[in-house]
Chains A and B, each alone.
Chain A
């Protein structure tokens, strides 16, 4: 197969690269004609030529590359004629080549408005390295400069004039604002101010009538009879597709120029393709490099028999114009019928940000960023992938103002198909795969996938993906429960749920190896309890429980146990206090008030436990689950029933909460508190979930921690009523139970959660995963299934039998247990 490519610009070069990579098996004869004297170079970064980059630095590939690839490259030799019947082309130098397929990638030329005087000295266009060289030669004669055209390229050209030392430079724009295709009036005003600060003056709404001067330019005459004096003029008023060759060959062209192509980039002659800025697809010329590359991909695919189609292209763009970030993505101009806009403007700093969101607040449609475009990539991806927005979409612009660093769900939330590098069409999946394959540095990934090698705008995102992927891998390896189960806790939970497994033995039969161990047994036991809330000592699960759960008490120094009855909200009647006192006396127990507003009785022999609990239960107590990775206490202040500051009845709400979640088993213990006012006497902000009364309802805080690494809880929702509060707690706790690693408190879980608090809020409050109803149902099932475990033991002789020290002498207590006395109570003997 022989392919001739007319044009060796960026897109023509890309086509060569693509066709070679796609035709490794079938040899292809590739001939390229280029009008310019040098091989394809990076026209996007043309301005960097003024920063000291040489023409060679800008080359996409050296001449040697073409030789190595077996490409016959004819430079400085434009094709003059196409003979479609003979399927040949003839060049300026007289070379005739026949072709099986012809690819026209002639690009565009600068559009020069038909204004008298454009032929004067000192008038330039801004397109090629040669143009730059000529401008550079002329610049020393000029003290003032002007650019016609306030679009992307025009501003680049203005930058070039500044770089050439012409400080008095004006940009002249016909329409009422700069970059009319990308930004709105307000954005343009900010941009103009910003540019003025850099010495660049902008004239909008100016229609140039004539270029003044005898031989060389001296000024511009506008239709409003004003005059701008200038010694040099750069025309950058748009592009004009180079379709003259195609036109002469009888190919269909558009009414305003451009070679008409179909979705496969075929022209009206199916053996001739056209790609890049000369191609007209769906009445549109795509004047950016990324869609050009996509066209190259589509054409190369079609020629090699691969099905691919060009279906238009997102024209989102981000540039640094003269040091000012300018970005425009999705639909930058809203139609107020279909969307709401959020606009942030800071005239002092010169930043302008606008996002357009759907009227239901669900999705991002597009926007504009000027002065600070750091959020561009994430916003673009949020738009393209229809990611759900945070509860307060303005956080996308302003950042989260409640303290957490992250906004949005981050790169991990993107689907694998998400296009990260639009220039090179590299998806998230491809990048992550490269990382998985062992390319773990940015340079390696760039080399292997080509992502980030063109405009470089996606580089931060590529870095994030590398980090996230590696983290995910590392995590996965560490995350396996133990040698007996090759799964993470979350995977185990899903598997156990799907198969409705109810005992450790069943789980081991289905998914494990060996006998289990002290690591996986409690994990599985906890998952079973979190899923089904069955009696934990049933079904042979007693020996899968951690020792404290197995005996429903906390083992203490010396081998005795402590007893903690539940005292919801810390509220207790004098009568019940008396009962605790009597039981403590009867069984000779050390008593102490705990940090969670209840009473702990220490020093109970194993065989006394059922008797002690029998008496406690008879007096109306129930298990406090102090021994389990489960809800512990819901601490409360006295609240509005007594306190002169109290806004709501914090005790009643604490009791309601504690009774709802009592016995709930989780990856780790859970503590809570309810405060009746902002004074926060219950210290709710140090709890896994804490509730503080406000004038209008409750503020719900989550993921706080005391302990060795104290961490303040963060606000999840404010001013909510009691029912909403419970609904959110249901969802929050179930989501934690389902996703956390073993023995991970909520604070650590949140710290590891990608997207952090915003993600969590999205899941819990905005139901971004669509699982809220399911989480609530699952929690309600657990609540309905609650039974006091100690009551079940007390009432079951078989279970009771397990609470003896000697299997062959049940009445005997462990004779090695020793106590000492201290402050009128006993204490455990110090261990050796």
Chain B
């Protein structure tokens, strides 16, 4: 018996681009989840991660300060300033800390879409 994983991305409409402050973040509600969405206006890049900071389990990352370390985009949690890469979600300031889930973002006609993965486990026939 073999198992295969097929991953498909479904995009949902998060907000208008103008709803997001330049060089900052907002929190997007998706079903029962909270996703932090960040806009780097100077380089026109968008990132999305889980809103929960894994350190103290606080829904706060969207209120954190964004920035870069050696060109890698990051966010700092407002509670204790743990920083996380927005590229891959890993914690930059503490290697033992859990990583963030990251989400793809796309902009279509000034609307922001976040991609969530619908993981479908299909048992091989």
Give residues in A with beta carbon < 8 Å to B: 483-484, 505, 508, 514-518, 520-522, 540, 542-544, 546-548, 550-551, 555, 558-559, 802, 805-809, 812, 814, 816-817, 831-832
Contacts and interface: CB of A to CB of B under 8 A. Distances in A.
A807 B28 contact: yes
A515 B23 contact: yes
Contacts of B40: 515
B24 interface: yes
A633 B94 CA distance: 36
Given A515-B67, A515-B68, A517-B68, A543 B23 contact: yes
A816 B29 CA distance: 12
A451 B42 CA distance: 54
B67 A807 contact: no
Contact of A517 (B15, B25, B63, B69): B69
Given A522-B65, A555-B60, A816-B59, 15 more contacts: A483-B70, A508-B42, A517-B69, A521-B67, A542-B24, A543-B66, A546-B65, A546-B78, A551-B63, A807-B20, A807-B27, A807-B37, A808-B29, A816-B34, A831-B58
Q: Which of B25, B40, B58, B70 has the most CB of A within 10 A?
A: B58
Contact of A831 (B15, B28, B57, B83): B57
Contacts of A805: 27
Contacts of A551: 63
B60 A832 contact: no
Given A515-B73, A547-B64, A559 B59 contact: yes
A311 to B, nearest CB: 56
B56 interface: yes
A760 B66 CA distance: 38
Q: Which of B25, B63, B83 has the most CB of A within 10 A?
A: B63
Q: Which 7 A-B pairs have CB atoms at the shortest separation, nearest pair first?
A: A543-B24, A517-B67, A547-B78, A518-B76, A807-B26, A515-B68, A518-B65
Given A516-B68, A517-B74, A543-B21, A550 B42 contact: no
Given A559-B59, A831-B57, A831-B58, A518 B81 contact: yes
A806 B21 contact: no
Contacts of A817: 59
A551 B60 CA distance: 12
Given A514-B71, A518-B81, A547-B78, A802 B65 contact: no
Contacts of A806: 27-29, 34
Contacts of B71: 514
A71 B78 CA distance: 74
B32 to A, nearest CB: 8
A515 B70 CA distance: 10
Contacts of A544: 23, 65
A514 B71 CA distance: 6
Contact of A540 (B23, B76, B81): B23
A290 B23 CA distance: 64
Contacts of B65: 517-518, 521-522, 543-544, 546-547
B42 A814 contact: no
A558 B74 CA distance: 22
Given A505-B42, A831-B57, A517 B19 contact: no
A514 B58 CA distance: 28
14 contacts: A505-B23, A508-B42, A514-B67, A514-B68, A515-B67, A520-B67, A544-B65, A547-B78, A551-B63, A559-B59, A806-B28, A807-B27, A814-B34, A817-B59
Contacts of A515: 23, 40, 42-43, 66-68, 73
Contacts of B21: 540, 542-543, 802
Nearest to A815: B32
Contacts of B25: 543
B14 interface: yes
B58 A558 contact: yes
B11 interface: no
A550 B23 contact: no
A522 B66 CA distance: 12
A539 to B, nearest CB: 10
B30 to A, nearest CB: 8
B117 interface: no
A100 B29 CA distance: 95
A517 B76 contact: yes
Given A807-B19, A808-B14, A814 B59 contact: yes
A802 to B, nearest CB: 7
Q: Which of A483, A515, A522, A809 has the most CB of B within 10 A?
A: A515
B83 A518 contact: yes
Contact of A555 (B14, B20, B63): B63
Contacts of A542: 21, 24
Contacts of B15: 807-808
B101 interface: no
A522 to B, nearest CB: 8
Contacts of B28: 806-808
A517 B42 CA distance: 13
Nearest to B60: A559
B8 interface: no
Contacts of B83: 518
Q: Which of B23, B65, B73 has the most CB of A within 10 A?
A: B65
Contacts of A505: 23, 42
A278 B42 CA distance: 75
A518 B25 CA distance: 13
A801 to B, nearest CB: 8
